[in-house]
Amino acid sequence: MAVMREFTLDIPCGRIAGLRTGSAGAPRVLALHGWLDNAASFVPLSAHLQGIELVAPDLPGHGRSAHRAAGADYSFAATLHDVLDIADALGWQQFQLLGHSMGAGIASLVAAASPERVSRLVAIEALGALPEDPARTVQRMRDAVAATRALPGKRLRVFPSIETAVRARMQVNGLSEPVARLLVERGVRPVHDGQEPGGFEWSSDQRLTLPTMTRMTEPQVRDLIAGIECPTRVIYADPPQPYLPEPLRSQHSALLPRGEQRVIRGSHHLHMEDPATVAAEIGDFLTR
């Protein structure tokens, strides 16, 4: 597959930037990245996927895309509509979804809510949504409100160089240097102090770091997953993430009416760290 190229388009929430590759007329695949990642998340994998038109947007508030308006938040429901707006702007009535982590969760919602538009789904390291214990409803709301009210008083961390930002991302997520650099170079912006550069800061919207006000309960998550009608392939890393342990994640995959699960030894960003193996597990699933 050719090198991914930049694109921009406008949707109701603002300007969307991203990366794309492939030829018009090939199966259409919309790739959704994870939380605080960006479109560069799919650069390594794109080199191993053949015969598709791949479009990877920076989701709102991420990478080089617009932030939401003042007073808005980053709910999954809002992002679901962003994904459909992006597909509309591309002129795609029907398409396939490829998602990683948060992007796989959002893709799950889109597939369940708009089955007439999503023909296939590849979900990497997430499926559906993270469930919440109903007994934590009030505490979650209180935490979210407190964090939101405190946000205006916080300042973004400034890095003296791209290299220091790369090292910070490597430490936080356990990423290799090349993988971290891909995400960081698309995920920072220069800080200017007068006329001189003053380092770099994350370009992502600070509101993305706020706790979610409400989450689905486990029965709601199960109903959501059972409502994904399209053929679905779920790819997980081994060992599992602490927030989605076994056997829960396999139980969730088993709820898919037309789904299958694959497990690969690796880390959470396995699609970037070991793209050839992940691409082999995807196989011809997106080109059928």
Same domain? 181 vs 55: no
Same domain? 95 vs 223: yes
Domain termination residue (choose one: 188, 208, 228): 208
Same domain? 115 vs 195: no
Same domain? 146 vs 203: yes
> d(Cα 198, Cα 158) in Å, to the nearest integer?
8
Total domain count for the chain? 2
> d(Cα 249, Cα 269) in Å, to the nearest integer?
17
Amino acid at 201: E
Q: Indicate whether 154 belongs to any domain.
A: yes
Same domain? 149 vs 51: no
Same domain? 57 vs 142: no
If you compute the radius of gyration of the chain from its CA atoms, what whole number of angstroms results?
Answer: 19
- Give the model's pLDDT for residue 196: 56
Beta partners for residue 261, in sequence order: 234
Domain termination residue (choose one: 161, 185, 208): 208
Digit-coded pLDDT (tens) for 217-259: 999 999 999 999 999 999 999 999 999 999 999 999 999 999 9
Query: pTM, whole model, 2 decimals?
Result: 0.97
- Give the model's pLDDT for residue 195: 52
Q: Indicate whether 20 belongs to any domain.
A: yes
Mean pLDDT score, 150-177: 94
Digit-coded pLDDT (tens) for 197-215: 679 999 999 999 999 999 9
Same domain? 147 vs 62: no
C-alpha dihedral (140, 234, 268, 154), degrees to nearest 10 = -30
Q: Indicate whether 53 belongs to any domain.
A: yes
- Give the model's pLDDT for residue 197: 64
Statement: residue 2 has pLDDT above 90: no
Same domain? 98 vs 166: no
Domain termination residue (choose one: 208, 227, 257): 208
Q: Indicate whether 96 belongs to any domain.
A: yes
* Domain that includes residue 258, residue range: 5-132+215-282
Same domain? 37 vs 100: yes
Q: Indicate whether 44 belongs to any domain.
A: yes
Statement: residue 194 has pLDDT above 70: no
Q: Mind telling me the catalytic residues?
A: 101
CATH at residue 257: 3.40.50.1820
Q: Indicate whether 195 belongs to any domain.
A: yes
Statement: residue 65 has pLDDT above 80: yes
Q: Indicate whether 287 belongs to any domain.
A: no
Statement: residue 108 has pLDDT above 70: yes
Same domain? 69 vs 36: yes
Q: Indicate whether 288 belongs to any domain.
A: no
What is the three-state SS of the chain? CCCCEEEEEEECCEEEEEEEECCCCCCEEEEECCCCCCHHHHHHHHCCCCCCEEEEECCCCCCCCCCCCCCCCCCHHHHHHHHHHHHHHHCCCCEEEEEECHHHHHHHHHHHHCCCCEEEEEEECCCCCCCCCHHHHHHHHHHHHHHHHHHHHCCCCCECCHHHHHHHHHHHHCCCHHHHHHHHHHHEEEEEECCEEEEEEECCCHHHHCCCCCCCCHHHHHHHHHCCCCCEEEEEEECCCCCCCCCHHHHHHHCCCCEEEEEEECCCCHHHHCHHHHHHHHCCCCCC
Statement: residue 148 has pLDDT above 80: yes
Same domain? 126 vs 240: yes
Statement: residue 186 has pLDDT above 90: yes
Q: What is the mean pLDDT of the chain?
A: 96
Same domain? 165 vs 231: no
